[in-house]
Structures are given as C-alpha cells and as structure tokens.
Chain A
C-alpha cells in the first residue's frame, strides 16, 4: 500500500467551497419567507462549518482512514476481558432487513410484532443461559447494565425500608464497577484477593455487614480464574441481606457449563458485544441486558417486553410493551434498547443452539489453556510468568515484572513491538493487582496455528530484547504512526479542527 503524503488530512482540510455530495429534493410546497417561519433572532448567525466535499472525496477519505486501522477481520486480537471472537457475516444481512432496520420504536405494537417477538425470544434465551428468568434488554452497554443492577438493588432495599450505603467490589474489578457504584449513589469498598487470585473470604466476611447493599463479582474473575469459593461467597453476601451481582464480561468461559443464577447471583448483566458477537465498531455499539431473580423482577426498567397469551382459541400470542410497572426503577435510556444488536445476538444464539454455545465456551477455555501452555513451553514463562500457577479459564494474566527487571523492557514495550508483528496486543496494565500485567483472551474462534504463531512471536520479541532492548522500547516501526505524545495531548488538548474564525 502506497502511503499518501496527505493521509492525515482531515475531511475539513479536503473541503473546497462549493463542492457538494447532497442534492436536496426540490421544493414542492409554496415557499414562505424564512423570517415568517423562523424569526431572525432565533436563527444562528453563520451556517455550521461542515466540510464541502463530493461523494468521491468522502469515500476516498474514509477508505484511506480505514486502512490505518487494525481490525479483527484482519488479525488476531487477544484483548483480555473483551472477547474478540469472530463477527459472523450473516448478522449484517439480517440486521439490515427493512423489517428490522426501518421500524420506528414508537410503532404501534400491533404493527411491530416481529420486533417484539424477537426481543421476547432473546430475553428467553438469555434467561436460560444465565439461569435467571426475568430479563430486561434495555441497558445500552455493560456499564449501563451494571448501573441497572445496582439501581435494582437500591430499589429492593428501599422497598424493604432499608437504607444501605456501601457496595463491595474486588480489587481485580474492571474500572466500570467502582465508577458505577458512585454513579448509583453508593460508596465503594474494596475486597482483596488471596494468594490464589480468588476473593479473600476472610476479608469479605470482615467487610460484609448490613450497610452493604451488594457485592459485584465477575466469575471467572478478571484474572481468568473461577471463584472456587463462590458458594461460601453467596452465603456470606445473602446472609447480610445484600444482593449478589454478576458482571457478565467473562461469560464466554461458562456458557452451557455453569449458570450464574445457579451460583446464587441475583442479577446478571450480559455484554452482547462480547460473548454474543455484536461487532465492536471501534468503541460501540453494544448492549448490556440484565437477567434477574423473581424478587428483583418488580423493579426492572420500564417498559418490559411481555408476551400475552391469547384468550381466543387458536389466536397467536401478542407481544407487547408493558408500562404498568409501579415498582420499576424507571428508565435508563429512551425507547427499548439497541434493537439492532438484539437482532445479531439472536441470530448468533439460533445459529449455535444449546450444544454450540457450550462448545464455544469449552473451546474458549481450551484455547486459553493451550496458549498458556504454549507460551510456557516456548520459554516465555521465565520473563512473562503466569500471575497464578493454576489452570485458567477463557483468559489468563501474565506478569511482565521479570521481563522488566532482566530484559529491561516493560509490558508496554512488548505490546508496541507486537504491533510490528501484525497482531493486536493483549490488554495491558489490567488487572491492577498484577505488576506489569498482560491479559490474554484468545477466544474460541482462533485456530491452533494462530495460537502457535502468537507464542512464537512473543518468544521472538523476548529473544530480541535479550540482545537489544532498545528495539522494543522504540517500537512500533511499521505502523501508520509510531509512539504518540500522549502527555502533550493531555496537557493542551486539541479536540476539534481549528478553523478560520475559531
């Protein structure tokens, strides 16, 4: 690919007075003076300075930009905690059908039966996967699902006349958990992890009291390890009248094998853009539905998609939006949620079925353990040992601390050098409790060859660092740009195009 000299021009810099792509339909109604319709003092002084470009320029511009992105359809993307599994191509086709894509959310339910039925069926399937029967598809992403979960907890306690102020999260929790707790009006209390990478039960017992509303847990944890003490955790948390919340980010490890509802969780959220193949889109869209137990059901967001059985003989059931929910926490967003995401997730579940989902999780866990073993065999473990010496689930965490000490390159440098090898690096510097963390999640849709190749690349980079650490420290070399001045960007943020008259 020949690099263009003007590759970093913005669309505004390509703008030329008078060029256009859009042609307005002709005015077919009597034209009234603008001032009559919209008084001058209500109007803006100047038109927004949007670019003036024709279609060929727009297409070329964004095509060229796209080629400056690495993506999942191009290569291995083992980002821990993100579940970058293949996005089946059928999904765009079905999501694009007008009967899904062009239905107005406020359409009379009688004329939206297909959409409502799809949502109901997806709810049903997710409920079965979670082991909790009542599902709301409303939350827009995992974070909003978490927010729903904590607000549902608040509603439960308030309904009982209880006033609680704290929510417990493990020290391995994803940042969204504590951020959500504050947004939901609670105080965060951290629970430490033990030497095996599990929640420290003694610390949990010490901190769980009747001022605690909820424990937010990911299982397997962000270390990729199953919480072996989950049954005791459930007893402790429920024992003080708190709810047990399941962050579904790691659901890919256990679909069809174990269910959070059976583990005793009251509320579960799903990331449809993780286990259920909604394409990540460079940062969304996603969806974060929640599944809850019977006692939490009354508080679910409004409206709920319900199925009303017909009382007339032989008539089809009617799918409807139920607004009559007096104990509901209310709304977290407009309309019904990210329906386009539901279409794709539903298609995925129908494609895999019960056996397929189980196989997906089994393969995800197999692939992760295999890659972990392969890295160990390739001699990588000396510099990048596993943070915990146990079988992992669908992801694992390595520590780059020995690498830093002995080879003088950090996890950051390893990540940047991986870019030169045409793979996306794993997640770096998370979870916080592991020094120089590198979190790897291969997912089930990668071949053995890809995993073998990745292990070789990592070994190569370590060997290279042993000879000359400077190479990794100055990497990458072959990407569209090299290391960027993030400090400068944060000190004097430039967040929009400078234009004349700004």
Chain B
C-alpha cells in the first residue's frame, strides 16, 4: 500500500505535522484489553451502581422507570437501524425516513400540533431551542418562564438567553400552579410545563390566552404520556410543544441518550429546528420519504439556520414510535389511567402519614409533591437502606420546600410497592422526627 502511495513509511504520511507537534511518547493510557477483559471491567463498574432493578424506585423528576417492551430492542438493535448515518441519500434510507415520518405523526397526535420534527436531543435543551425560535418569530426581549418548569430546563434557557441578550423572568407558582405576572409587548415567549415539576396539571388554555393577548408565543414543555389524557397543547392554543421523550420506550441510562420532541403550529413550520421527514413520490410514481425543508438547516443556511443541530436522536425516536405503536390508541389511555389511579392511591396513603403533608392538592397525573416534617435527605437515606427509593428531594432547587419530596408513579409500581413505600417512608419520617426531638 505504501508503494502505491509513493512513500516509504507510514511516518511520511504525517510529514505535514510540524515536528514540535508530534507526540513524542505514547498516550498515557493503559494498553488495550481483550473483549473479555473489557466486558469484565464494564461489568464490575455496573455492579457499583444501584439500578432500578435493585430497589423499588419512586424517583422521577423528568425521567421515569417505565417498562420497556422486549420488541423495541429486537428492532432498534438491527444493523439496518443501528448503524447507518443520517439519511442524506434517501433512495437507500427509506426505512429510517419512513420511521421518522411515523414518529412525527405520533408526536402530532400527542401534542395536537400539526408539525413535528424528527427529534431533538432531550427535554431541557428543547426548551432552549424553542426559545431560539421565539427570538426569530416573536418580538420582545424577555422570556417569562414558570417556576413550575423543570429546573434543568430553566437553567438551559438562562444559559442560552444570556448569549442572545434576552432577559429571563420567572413566574411564581401559587397553590401549585403558575401565576403569570402582567405581560407586555416586551415578552417574546411564555414558557410553562405540563404537568408542572410539582406534578400539578396547569390551565394551559388560560396561560396561552394571556400570552397571546400580549403578543407573546406560548411554549409548553410536556410530559408525553399524560398527553394521552390531558387537553393537548394544540387544543389549548400553545404555539410550540416540546418535551422529554425518555418515557416513550427508552431506558434511564443515567440520563441519556433519550430524545426530545418538538412540535409547532403550521405558521412556525419554516422556523423549526432539526430534521423533518416529508412524504413524496419517486420518478416511477412510487411513494417515498425525504428530509425536507432542508433550507432551514445548518448544512445549507449556515449562519442563518434555525438551529445548529446536526446529529440528533434518531434511534431513540425510533424506539419512541415503536413504543407508541405498541401501546396503541386504546393502550396508551389504559396505561395513563392506570398511573392516574395508582398516583391517587399513593398520594392518599402518603398524606395520611404523620409528618407528611401535600404541597398542593391540584389534579396530578403521575407525580406529586409532599412536604416532610423531618430532614428529607436523611429520610431518603433511611428508605434507600430499606430498598425503597422514595423520590426526589426538592429542597436544593425549591428552597421554599426545604423538605419537599417529589414522588413518581409508573406502571411498574404496584399497589404492594406503594404500600411498602408508605410503610417505609412512615417509619423513616417517624425515626427522623424522633432524632430531631431527641436533639432539641
């Protein structure tokens, strides 16, 4: 091969690199290992973490331990879905493109908005991406974001808004739901979450109306499964619906990869970020699919693109649409109604524990917040020692709920699990109150 190239050694191929920049020692990394050794090491690392298999978990706050059906892996691990690149040659990418089209349809059905893209990275950055659309599509120099939006999403928006020279104002929660300040034409967009971070169902219609009368866009960050029951963002007059897709057929994976969904009104179609698959025909009149409206994207519009996104989360979105097909029209309603009932049961059991009070009593779907009369971190630690993870401690991001606990219910949490949670939590709270009293 070297002869064909016309050089004498591999070293000559790197002649363009100035000698002073050539690494004069091997990389300070261990020597390579056999497949078996790598497997053993990764297995040993896995053993050092407590997964949802090792404890009964009520931990949610944006990602949830749902049951992922076996058929998903059997499909997404197929080479033909796992290993190709983004479909730049549509003639040999019809599988991936059609899957995107089917996914977009499913997201439109969930959100009630006619235009969905083929995925963005995940939930919180999708909120920032929606904010970016607002800077182009809407006048104003300010975002109003509800305190009920996930803390990570609020932080993402602030990080980017700073670069855009946009202000971010927070709307407080009152009795568990968003209370918007008076809006004026300086507001570019209003951002809310449905259900909100404390689990409460918001009145999206009223919020969207207020935003609209001030000439602002409404962006709703939504938990996708509850949308099977809740009034859709589209029905409520929301302009852009985004959200975290992990619940839809994807694993926890310590936070990623999952996918974000992004759907909007027809008017905003040409400002959408990300890939969009469209239906068309080939020269023989056969139905086919292509990436469309590419002039929005970075590879064509470059500095004027609607986003810089290139690689997104196609495989995870595929898992999402397979999952939604697996649930089906009736199944998704049954699933969410089951979660609704169990959540109500859990909420009831917990608020009847001595030392546990509801933070709000708004309708909830699959998550609710309580306040403990004991140091929440210590209570959680006691519960985990008993093999139960009771939920997320709210205090760091919501100091007004210093000992708040956010409890999530999925279809995996049975009545027996919930009863065990109540018992374990009850005992832990009692023990901690005892300790506090003893110290006092």
Contact = CB atoms under 8 A, between A and B. Distances in A.
- A–B touching in complex (CB under 8 Å): yes
Nearest to B321: A11
A74 B79 contact: yes
B23 A256 contact: yes
Interface stretch (A112-120, A238-246, A289-297, A402-410): A112-120
B1 interface: yes
A389 interface: no
Interface in B67-124: 69, 71, 73-96, 98-102, 104-106, 108-110, 112, 114-116, 118-119, 121-124
A339 B253 contact: yes
Contact of B45 (A118, A183, A257): A118
A112 B49 CA distance: 4
A86 B182 CA distance: 56
A175 interface: yes
B31 A355 contact: yes
Interface in A165-215: 174-176, 178-185, 188
Contact of A496 (B104, B132, B330): B104
Interface string A488-499: 111001111100
Given A71-B80, A347-B42, A377-B4, 10 more contacts: A28-B342, A257-B23, A279-B82, A330-B158, A340-B251, A349-B29, A393-B16, A480-B92, A494-B279, A496-B108
B8 interface: no
A285 B79 contact: no
Given A104-B57, A424-B89, A48 B332 contact: yes
A100 B298 contact: no
Nearest to B79: A73
Contacts of A433: none
Most interface-central of A32, A230, A486 (chain B CB within 10 A)? A486
A391 B53 contact: no
B95 A151 contact: no
A204 to B, nearest CB: 17
A37 B92 contact: no
Interface in A126-181: 128-129, 140-144, 146-147, 151, 154, 174-176, 178-181
A111 B48 CA distance: 7
Nearest to A476: B91
Most interface-central of A93, A105, A333 (chain B CB within 10 A)? A333
Interface in B314-350: 314-316, 318, 321-322, 324-335, 337-338, 340-342, 344-345
A111 B114 CA distance: 43
Contacts of A315: none
A102 B94 contact: no
B50 A111 contact: yes
A482 B344 contact: no
B292 interface: yes
Shortest Cβ-Cβ A-B pairs, 7 listed: A99-B46, A335-B255, A281-B315, A105-B255, A353-B32, A283-B314, A114-B48
Contacts of B171: none
A334 B414 contact: no
Most interface-central of B57, B256, B321, B330 (chain A CB within 10 A)? B256
A275 to B, nearest CB: 13
A50 B31 contact: no
Contacts of A369: 5, 7, 13
A128 to B, nearest CB: 5
B280 interface: yes
A177 B300 CA distance: 12
Most interface-central of B18, B46, B65, B284 (chain A CB within 10 A)? B46
B363 interface: yes
Contacts of B365: 38
A230 B18 contact: yes
Given A154-B163, A333-B152, A48 B95 contact: no
Interface stretch (A53-61, A306-314, A379-387, A461-469): A53-61
A90 interface: yes
A82 B299 CA distance: 14
B257 A340 contact: yes
A482 B314 CA distance: 23
B125 interface: yes
A21 B27 contact: no
B interface, size bucket: 35 or more
Given A70-B92, A357-B27, A334 B156 contact: yes
Contacts of B2: 366
A339 B254 contact: yes
A273 B316 CA distance: 14
Given A354-B26, A482-B91, A144 B80 contact: no
B437 interface: no
A66 B318 CA distance: 11
A49 B326 contact: no
14 contacts: A10-B102, A24-B411, A34-B340, A50-B324, A51-B325, A69-B84, A69-B96, A104-B59, A262-B21, A280-B311, A287-B257, A334-B153, A347-B38, A489-B280
Nearest to A65: B95
A101 B81 contact: no
B104 to A, nearest CB: 5
A31 B341 contact: yes
Given A28-B414, A354-B30, A99 B16 contact: no
A58 B23 CA distance: 52
Contacts of A10: 98, 101-102, 105
B414 A128 contact: no
Interface string B12-23: 111111101111
Interface stretch (B208-216, B227-235, B423-431): B227-235
B283 interface: yes
Nearest to B313: A284
Contacts of A94: 38-39, 42-43, 46
A281 B280 contact: no
Nearest to A31: B341
A112 B105 CA distance: 37
B156 A333 contact: yes
B32 A282 contact: no
Given A284-B119, A334-B156, A11 B340 contact: no
A419 interface: yes
A47 B330 contact: yes
A350 interface: yes
Contact of B318 (A71, A103, A282): A282
